[in-house]
Amino acid sequence: MQDADDILKQLQQRFGDTGLQQQQRKDDILTVWLPKEQLIPVTQWLKAAVDKPYKLLYDVCGIDERDRMGNGYLPLKDFTVVYHLFSFERNDFICLKVALEGEYPSLPSITSLYKNANWYEREVYDMFGIRFEGHPHLQRILMPLTWPGHPLRKEHPARATESGPFRLFTEYEDREQNALEFKPEEWGMQRQTDDADFMFLNIGPQHPGTHGVLRIVLQLDGEDIVDAVPEIGFHHRGAEKMGERQSWHTYIPYTDRVDYLGGVMNNLAYLLAVEKLAGIEVPDRVKVIRVMLCELFRISSHLVWFGTFAQDVGQLSPVFYMFTDREKVFDIIEAVCGGRMHPNWFRIGGVAQDLPNGWDGLVRHFVNYFPKRIREYTNMVLRNSLFKGRTKGIGIYTLEEAIEWGVTGAGLRACGFEWDFRKKRPYSGYEMFDFDIPIAQNGDCYDRAIVRVEEMRQSLRIVEQCLNNMPEGSYKADHPLTTPPIKKHTMKDIETLITHFLNVSWGPVIPAGEAMSCIEATKGANSYYLTSDGNTSPYRVRIRTPSFPHMQMVPYISKGYTVADLLSILGSVDFVLADIDR
Amino acid sequence: MQHVWIVLGVLFVLLNVAAGLIWVERRMLAMWQDRLGPNRAGPLGLLIVLADTLKLFFKEDWIPSFADKKIFVIAPAIVVASVLMSFVVIPFAPGIVVADLNIGVLFFLAMSSLGVYSIVLGGWASNNKYSLLGAMRGASQMIAYEVFMGLSLMGVVMMTGSFRLTDIVEAQRSVWFCFTQPLGLILFFIAGIAETHRLPFDIPESESELIAGFHSEYSGMKFGMFFIGEYLGVTLISAMTVTMFFGGWMGPEFLPGWAWFFIKTFAFILFFILLRASLPRPRYDQLMESGWKVLLPLVLVNILVTGAVLLYLKG
């Protein structure tokens, strides 16, 4: 906190305290309102001039403030653009907010300062219609180019019944068809140079190597990649928009499906933010149960990645062994949660049920069984010289580049930087556990693989500690806002009965405020930035996913390699399309 | 009359082996990958062969409107024809050989080289970028590996003094060439994998990059022809390995010659499948590099040493 006060003082000294206002948040992240003229100077200063600079642009999002109730302490404006910056040296976030007025406002772009601002600003433009002046290629990113309106604006319909029946008129159809025509110029690519005609290869949206509906347009000279442009948004389901009409409780299943390999890990990211807003402290047993399931899901997600990565470089068998082992993880998860990939099992203030009888036997069996398998996989895949030939020295980025592009998770640790949010900013009781942060030095595909494999070992260590030290106690916090609400005295007096009834039928009313969680998810840092205006549903849900910036970096690290290398790179980045598009 | 029977017999056996390999490969792969594989149709799932064939026959035989139609249709036939032609010179047992040519080895090399036309033409005629990339890869891979495939057999030829395959088998009565020409064997087998473009050298079709490479646009029985061509190729390379290095039909007396030949060949087919189950795929340029820079010099050294030793023994 001392640090945060310092930086605020310095900011006010440098840029005058008239424009800069501080806002209190529930999560203790320093939040400063700026006029839009000062955005560039302030970010520039924070990134370069200040000591212990804020090198990582963590997230950019917009908020449509026009329907927000009771935000008297904020500059009352139509839109807000929110920037989250992160400093590794300080181990702290800073949040910059720019208030905007008008129907379709604009503000200066920071793409010249942070490389990964490009896609984030395109997303804000796509979702809100806010224009960024000076952006090199301000175009829709998630929605189709022909989409009418901007989905996260409050006037945009949230469901089909609000927007009238759909009819496909011929002229619409023609327009849509024409929009699909591929013109390299629009993607920023040349058709030829003086001595070569380029070939454009369309990889995806249906392609065995993209692991989902991702389209990458390659500009090829022979088999060498001159440029690559990813097109995303095929998997966009409007998870953020859905949050605005679901109750705090009923939104949990939607989070499961964001990083669909991460399962309950997504619940955790969301609930940590909700619990900060509601001021709920969960009991130790809840923390440990949550950690155990999250780590099991980390193992299962890494197993999928490992198998498919091996398959991407042509090794057919590992994926079958690893899916068999993933099945063993799912057996435990199924026994505990009843579900497999999307268990939807964490609740506000706790988990859905206590652990079932015999859970420890299942987990112990797995903990004893799995290390041998990892050894076998290491020998089979990582030590194979053909595999090394395909992955060593491919897709290299340095630590500075990684931070510049917003890389988190294993991709960052493969550059030799020991950074893990579980260790550095412990949440949900991770400070109680003993584990190492695996790192590697070269930042190529092979090193990213090594880091992830070692992470599975560390996860197993954590699971084992959970197994041996599971605290006794309640599986839910004793707090009126937990879901499902506490029922103990409902049959005794009418007040608690009414409260219970309202909390079940409407869902809990979370106090107004803002909070952001930040967890080390399977693929990198995952955050939910929630804004509540004191209602039964969030006012705005912002999901910061790790795969989005990772995918943005793929063109940068694949230029100059061949088509075959692109598949190694895609495999090593480990993305999930639902995690990119949300 | 006997000739006609041999021709028909060989053709019948080969086509059945190629079809049967569908089942063998799928079941063996499954076994090595902790799965079951096709086990429902008929005993042990054997009828999957019939089911697969029927399926291929009844599938829509689609020729893309953008394809070069004549070449598109001819391409898959070339691979099957050329591989079948190579079998002409292989002696399956004493007296069971379609044509015992005195240029047997050369004929085999010539015919198996023709197979590349089907890849190049198929990929070109499909008029699809993935197919084209696959065809280009296929062509350069074939050129690189063709060269030392022929040269790797020359050691055996020098030791026998004949291109005739029956002579080569006879020459192995005392000791198989796999003991006297180990380097030649390894190099020939590597070249053979590249020739049949099986994993790890399936660069022309490498499914995780190029969908299905040169045969992306093929469906129905035309695709089936590529499929059969591939299995026939696997059988051919296995049979050639056995003939050139493992004494062909020779073996202890308690089994007839053709049975020994069959057993040995089958062992190599299984080895092909095992390779597929275990190895990743090198990159195209790595494959070319190892071909030209490592394997070709090795094969030349092999010839040089063999020649020197032969001259020395001659006195």
Q: How confident is the model at residue A124 (pLDDT cuts 50, 70, 90)?
A: very high
Helix (H) or strand (E) segment spanning residue A526: strand A525-532
Interface size between A and B, measured as CB pairs under 8 A: 78
Whether the pLDDT of residue A72 is over 60: the answer is: no
Share of residues in chain A with pLDDT > 90 (%): 14
| Cβ neighbour number for residue B270 with a 10 Å cutoff | 14
Q: How confident is the model at residue A300 (pLDDT cuts 50, 70, 90)?
A: very high
Distance of alpha carbon A287 from alpha carbon A470, whole angstroms: 10
Q: Mean pLDDT over residues A232-246, rounded?
A: 88
Closest A-chain CA to B206 = A314
Tens of pLDDT along B26-52? 888 888 888 888 888 888 888 888 888
Distance of alpha carbon B83 from alpha carbon A443, whole angstroms: 46
**Contact list, B282 vs chain A (CB under 8 Å):** 386, 389-390
Q: Mean pLDDT over residues A131-144, rounded?
A: 87
Min Cα separation A214/chain B (Å): 14
Whether the pLDDT of residue A73 is over 70: the answer is: no
Whether the pLDDT of residue A74 is over 70: the answer is: no
**Contact list, B129 vs chain A (CB under 8 Å):** 199, 201-202
Superfamily designation of domain A239-581: Cytochrome-c3 Hydrogenase, chain B (1.10.645.10)
Distance of alpha carbon A228 from alpha carbon A572, whole angstroms: 17
**Contact list, B293 vs chain A (CB under 8 Å):** none
Binary contact (A386, B279; C-beta < 8 A): yes
> DSSP per residue over A128-157, as a string?
H--EEET-TT---SSS-TT--S-TTSTTS-
pLDDT of residue A543: 92
pLDDT of residue A298: 92
The residues pairing with A32 across neighbouring beta strands, listed in sequence order, are A22, A96
Within 13 Å and on the Cβ side, how many CA atoms surround A535?
18
Within 13 Å and on the Cβ side, how many CA atoms surround A259?
36
Distance of alpha carbon A409 from alpha carbon A395, whole angstroms: 16
**Contact list, B207 vs chain A (CB under 8 Å):** 208
3-state secondary structure of A247: coil
**Contact list, B276 vs chain A (CB under 8 Å):** 316
Q: Mean pLDDT over residues A257-269, rounded?
A: 89
The residues pairing with A98 across neighbouring beta strands, listed in sequence order, are A34, A81
**DSSP class of residue B252?**
-
Q: Sheet containing A199-203: which strands, arranged edge to edge?
A: A199-203, A215-221, A224-231
Number of domains present in the structure of chain B: 1
Tell me what the pLDDT averaged over chain A comes to: 86
Distance of alpha carbon A348 from alpha carbon A275, whole angstroms: 7
Nearest Cα to Cα of residue A556 among A365, A326, A411, A402: A402
| Cβ neighbour number for residue B119 with a 10 Å cutoff | 29
Out of B133, B277, B280, closest to residue A310 by CB: B280
Whether the pLDDT of residue A1 is over 60: the answer is: no
Distance of alpha carbon A475 from alpha carbon A473, whole angstroms: 7
Distance of alpha carbon B126 from alpha carbon B92, whole angstroms: 37
Out of B32, B207, B282, closest to residue A389 by CB: B282
Kindly list the residues of chain A whose beta carbon comes within 8 Å of any beta carbon in chain B.
199, 201-202, 207-209, 223, 310-317, 320-321, 324, 380-381, 384, 386-387, 389-390, 562-567
Q: Mean pLDDT over residues A548-554, rounded?
A: 90
pLDDT of residue B278: 85
Tell me what the pLDDT averaged over chain B comes to: 85
Distance of alpha carbon A142 from alpha carbon A133, whole angstroms: 20
Instruction: Look up the domain containing B271 and give its range.
Output: 2-314
Residue given tokens 């063996």 in the structure block: B28
In chain B, alpha helices (H): 2-32, 48-58, 69-86, 104-126, 129-160, 165-170, 177-180, 182-195, 207-210, 220-245, 257-278, 284-289, 296-314
Q: For domain A2-151, say whether CATH 3.30.70.260 is its number.
A: no
Helix (H) or strand (E) segment spanning residue A552: helix A547-558
**Contact list, A392 vs chain B (CB under 8 Å):** none
Out of A201, A208, A317, closest to residue B33 by CB: A317
Q: How far is CA B114 from the centre of its chain?
A: 13
Whether the pLDDT of residue A17 is over 70: the answer is: no
Out of A312, A317, A381, closest to residue B208 by CB: A312
Q: How confident is the model at residue A2 (pLDDT cuts 50, 70, 90)?
A: low
Tens of pLDDT along A216-232? 888 888 778 888 888 88
Tens of pLDDT along A450-500? 999 999 999 999 999 988 888 888 888 888 788 787 777 778 888 888 888
B207 Cβ under 8 Å from any chain A Cβ: yes
Q: With 0-12 CB in 10 A as exposed, 13-18 as middle and 19+ as buried, what is A543?
A: buried
The tokens describing A175, both together, are: 């327009």
Nearest Cα to Cα of residue A573 among A362, A339, A347, A406: A406
Within 13 Å and on the Cβ side, how many CA atoms surround B298?
21
Tens of pLDDT along B134-182? 888 888 888 888 888 888 888 888 888 888 888 888 888 888 887 888 8
Binary contact (A389, B286; C-beta < 8 A): yes
- Rounded to two decimals, the pTM is 0.87
pLDDT of residue B57: 86
**DSSP class of residue A259?**
S
Whether the pLDDT of residue A69 is over 80: the answer is: no
Mutate to test the interface with B, among A313, A316, A388 (most CBs of B within 10 A): A316
Q: Is A341 left (phi over 0), alpha (psi -120 to 50) or beta?
A: alpha
Distance of alpha carbon B258 from alpha carbon B301, whole angstroms: 34
Min Cα separation B100/chain A (Å): 40
**Contact list, B279 vs chain A (CB under 8 Å):** 314-315, 384, 386
Please list, residue by residue across A271-300, b when 16 or more beta carbons sit within 10 angstroms of its beta carbon and e when fewer do: bbbbbbbbebebbebbbbbbbbbbbbbbbb
| Cβ neighbour number for residue A330 with a 10 Å cutoff | 20
> DSSP per residue over B97-161, as a string?
-S---TTHHHHHHHHHHHHHHHHHHHHHHHT-HHHHHHHHHHHHHHHHHHHHHHHHHHHHHHHHT
Q: How far is CA B145 from the centre of its chain?
A: 13
3-state secondary structure of A328: helix
A429-437: long-range contacts, CB 8 A cutoff, minimum separation 24? A429/A284, A429/A287, A429/A288, A429/A291, A430/A291, A432/A287, A432/A288, A433/A291, A433/A461, A433/A462, A433/A465, A433/A466, A434/A461, A434/A465, A435/A459, A435/A461, A435/A462, A437/A413
User: Could you give the ipTM of this predicted complex?
Assistant: 0.82
> DSSP per residue over A43-84, as a string?
HHIIIIISSS---EEEEEEEEE-TT----TTS---SEEEEEE
Asked if A78 and A62 count as a contact pair (C-beta separation under 8 A), the reply is no
Distance of alpha carbon A43 from alpha carbon A11, whole angstroms: 11
Whether the pLDDT of residue A515 is over 80: the answer is: yes
Q: How far is CA B227 from the centre of its chain?
A: 12
- Indicate the residue type of A307: G
Tens of pLDDT along B211-229? 777 788 888 888 888 888 8
Whether the pLDDT of residue A33 is over 60: the answer is: yes
Binary contact (B282, A386; C-beta < 8 A): yes
pLDDT of residue A301: 92
Binary contact (B32, A317; C-beta < 8 A): yes
Domain limits, chain A: 2-151, 239-581
C-alpha torsion sign, points A83, A87, A91, A92: negative
Beta strand ranges found along A194-306 (DSSP E): 199-203, 215-221, 224-231
Helix axes B220-245, B69-86, angle to 10 degrees: 20
Binary contact (A390, B282; C-beta < 8 A): yes
Whether the pLDDT of residue A141 is over 80: the answer is: yes
Distance of alpha carbon A363 from alpha carbon A466, whole angstroms: 10
Share of residues in chain A with pLDDT > 70 (%): 98
**Contact list, A315 vs chain B (CB under 8 Å):** 278-281
Min Cα separation B118/chain A (Å): 22
Q: Phi and psi dihedrals of A215, rounded to 5?
A: -115, 130
Q: How confident is the model at residue A71 (pLDDT cuts 50, 70, 90)?
A: low
Q: Phi and psi dihedrals of A214, rounded to 5?
A: -120, 140
Whether the pLDDT of residue A70 is over 80: the answer is: no
> DSSP per residue over A458-502, as a string?
HHHHHHHHHHHTPPPS-SB---TTSSSPP-TTTTT-HHHHHHHHH
Whether the pLDDT of residue B287 is over 60: the answer is: yes
Binary contact (B277, A223; C-beta < 8 A): no
**Mode of pairing for the β-strands spanning A79-87 and A56-64:** antiparallel
Min Cα separation A519/chain B (Å): 32
Q: Which residue has the higher pLDDT, A123 or A8?
A: A123
How many angstroms separate the most distant Cα atoms in chain A?
86
Q: Mean pLDDT over residues A316-332, rounded?
A: 90
- Indicate the residue type of A74: L
**Contact list, B29 vs chain A (CB under 8 Å):** 316
Binary contact (A563, B210; C-beta < 8 A): yes
Nearest Cα to Cα of residue B148 among B187, B112, B198, B181: B187
B295-301: long-range contacts, CB 8 A cutoff, minimum separation 24? B295/B148, B295/B187, B295/B190, B295/B191, B296/B147, B296/B148, B296/B151, B298/B148, B298/B183, B298/B187, B299/B148, B299/B151, B299/B152, B299/B183, B299/B184, B299/B187, B300/B151, B301/B183
Mutate to test the interface with B, among A197, A211, A315, A566 (most CBs of B within 10 A): A315
Query: First and final CA of chain B: distance in angstroms?
Result: 47
Distance of alpha carbon B31 from alpha carbon B14, whole angstroms: 25
